Amino acid sequence: MERPRIGIVDCRSGNLRSVSKAVAHEGGEPEILSGVDEDWSGLILPGVGAFGHVMRNIEPIRRELVDYIESGKPYLGICLGLQILFESSEEDPEPGLGIFKGRVTRVEARKVPHIGWNSLDILRDSRILAGVRPGEYFYFVHSYAARPADDEVLVATCNYDGDILASVVERENVAACQFHPEKSGRAGLRVIRNFVEISRGMTR
């Protein structure tokens, strides 16, 4: 069976090696680049740190990234790779990609950042969460969270100290998770496997 080429965008802010190893483990052929290859079967953008820092780092490839997403090919955002899909963040005046409507705001909890394991409340069926059971735990590290303006893109949430946080968003070819699947054990690898299988469909 052909291994789909999965591009991992190096925006100088992410767990590239861990993501790459997870993709290879689940049957993909990972390729780390600072640009975008339109021939990739799927694209992953992992990011940690600050919203503005990531947006400035990807500014040279912003148009290529949006074109790739708008072409209908699979995209998976991880952590900041989710947040930059939205229009803006109160963390930085730098605009997001605007793929989804909504804003990123600071987590409203007594203890920030949100670090550690949290269970998911799955709101609807989703290709990226296929096989993931409600209540499974995933690993989070973040101080800001997306607030989607369109509830239809919201797939799963988690409750952190009373703040209901967008944990997975998905629409058509675009999916993203606030947690780190590459650090989330078997459940996280299931998410990566689902993305590899979605991308495999692009190679047929």
pLDDT by residue (tens digit) across 15-72? Answer: 799 999 999 999 999 999 999 999 999 999 998 889 999 999 999 999 999 999 999 9
3-state secondary structure of 149: coil
Residues 151, 140: Cα–Cα separation, whole Å: 22
* Number of folded domains that form the chain: 1
Q: 40 with 72: CB under 8 angstroms?
A: no
176: domain CATH number?
3.40.50.880
Q: What is the pLDDT of residues 59-109, one digit of tens each?
A: 999 999 999 999 999 999 999 999 999 999 999 999 999 999 999 999 999
Residues labelled catalytic: 79, 180, 182
Domain that holds residue 167: 5-203
pLDDT band (50, 70, 90) for residue 203 = low
Please tell me the distance from the alpha carbon of residue 158 to that of residue 137, in angstroms, as a whole number: 10
The answer to whether the CB of 126 falls within 8 A of the CB of 174 is: no
